[in-house]
Amino acid sequence: MNEYDSAPTSKKNSSLFAVIIILAIAIVGLIIWQFSTRSHLNSLIAEKEKARVDIQKDLDSLMSEHEQVKQLYGTLSDSLMVKDSVIQANAIEIRRLLDTEWEYNKIRKKLAFLQKVAQGYVHQIDSLYTVNRELTAENEKIRQDIRIEQNRSQTLIKDKEQLSEKINQAAFIKAYDVTATAYKLKGGDKEVLTDKASRTDRVRVCFTLGENPLVKPGKRSVYIRITRPDNVVVTKSKYDTFIFNGQTIPYSIREDIDYQGKSMNLCVNWNKKDTDKPAMKGKFSVTVFTDDKEIGTGSFELK
């Protein structure tokens, strides 16, 4: 080998070394790039996972608050079932995207939309609650007014009944100064006052019907009962009876009158049927009736 053969060899070795150096640098750069890329990728993965967890937490918090609102407002939430179904459907969609996709901007937009719908739900149900509370207060006031009016009506009815009862109690004719006088008849219509049972042929009963504008004016019958000392009512006929308190009782004298609410003086006679038989000695009672009421009493005594 001569000196001309060693020069190309030395040059060739220098070129190979340069190539090795370049390849080594390239490999080192590739390793650094791969490490950097992997670190960046891991960082992105961690960021995305954190974002997914944050979104999941926000979604869970939103849905938890939504359920609390529904429970708080009770039956009022039933009127917003359509909006509630929209919220539930969007929540399901966001959870699906969190499990299957990495488009967090899209998920964030859906979550923002869901938050807006949920806020609208709260505002609307709060408005319903306010209106319902006002209506409840108004209804309670109406019920109180009704109760007051009912109590007032019941009081008025009671007062009216009491007044009617008082009017009914006051709306009857009263017979005042009931007196009975015995007479002996002497030829024709001549009468002689007597108090002897053996001389008595006639008893005259007199009284005053009092004034009472509360009594309905019109024709009515006045019944007088003369009761002997043995409690037997003297009568002209067994058919001389009238109804009093649902019972048929005998009367001695009947007088038909036309009462117009003004005071009236009445005198009626009872003539003894058996002129040959003396009257009973003792105290006689006189009772006056009309309109199914006992309106006056009196008495007289024969010796």
| CATH number of the domain enclosing 233 | 2.60.40.10
User: 296 with 175: CB under 8 angstroms?
Assistant: yes
CA 281/CA 270 separation, integer angstroms? 17
Is this structure's pTM higher than 0.75?
no
Residue type, 157: I
Q: What is the mean pLDDT of the chain?
A: 78
Q: With cut-offs at 50, 70 and 90, classify the pLDDT of residue 41.
A: low
Same domain, 154 and 214: no
- pLDDT value, residue 1: 46
Provide the pLDDT for residue 252. Answer: 93
158 and 122 in a common domain: yes
Residues 161 and 53 both lie in one domain? yes
Q: Which two tokens stand for residue 229?
A: 């000392």
- pLDDT for res 244: 93
Residue at 33 is within a domain? no
SS3 string, the chain, reads CCHHHHHHHHHHHHHHHHHHHHHHHHHHHHHHHHHHHHHHHHHHHHHHHHHHHHHHHHHHHHHHHHHHHHHHHHHHHHHHHHHHHHHHHHHHHHHHHHHHCCCHHHHHHHHHHHHHHHHHHHHHHHHHHHHHHHHHHHHHHHHHHHHHHHHHHHHHHHHHHHHHHHHHHHCCCCEEEEEEEEEEEECCCEEEEECCHHHCCEEEEEEEECCCCCCCCEEEEEEEEEECCCCCECCCCCCCEEEECCEEEECCEEEEEEECCCCEEEEEEEECCCCCCCCCCEEEEEEEEECCEEEEEEEEEEC
More confident call, 303 vs 66 = 303
Q: Report if residue 291 sits inside a domain.
A: yes
Would 129 be classed as within a structural domain?
Answer: yes
Confidence bin at 302 (pLDDT 50/70/90): very high
Q: Quick one: pLDDT at residue 4?
A: 46
Is residue 205 domain-shared with residue 190, that is, in the same domain? yes
CA distance 76 to 132: 9
Among residues 140, 170, 200, the one where a domain terminates is 170
pLDDT in tens, 181-232: 999 988 767 889 999 999 999 999 999 999 988 888 999 999 999 999 999 9
Q: In terms of domains, do 236 and 288 share one? A: yes
Beta bridge partners of 296: 288
Q: Do 196 and 160 share a structural domain?
A: no
Does some domain include residue 252?
yes
| Single residue among 150, 170, 190 that ends a domain in this structure | 170
Which residues share a beta bridge with 299? Answer: 285
List, in order, residues 6 or more apart from 297 with CB less than 8 Å away.
178, 285, 286, 287, 288
Asked if residue 96 belongs to a domain, the reply is: yes
Both tokens of residue 52?
Answer: 């997914």
Answer with the residue of higher pLDDT: 69 or 147: 147
Split at pLDDT 50, 70, 90, the class of 241 is very high
Give residue 58's domain range: 46-170
274/165 same-domain check: no
Reported confidence tier of residue 247, pLDDT bands at 50, 70, 90: very high
What per-residue confidence (pLDDT) applies to 299?
Answer: 93
Regarding whether 286 and 238 lie in a shared domain, the answer is yes
Look at 66-75, 155-164, 275-284 and tell me which has the smallest mean pLDDT: 66-75
Tell me what pLDDT residue 42 has: 59
Note whether residue 35 is domain-resident.
no
Q: Which of 137, 170, 203 lies at the terminal end of a domain, its last residue?
A: 170
pLDDT of residue 21: 79
Among 3-17, 99-113, 233-247, the minimum mean pLDDT is found in 3-17
| Residues 205 and 263 placed together within one structural domain of the fold | yes
* Residue 130 included in any domain: yes
The whole-number pLDDT of residue 256 equals 95
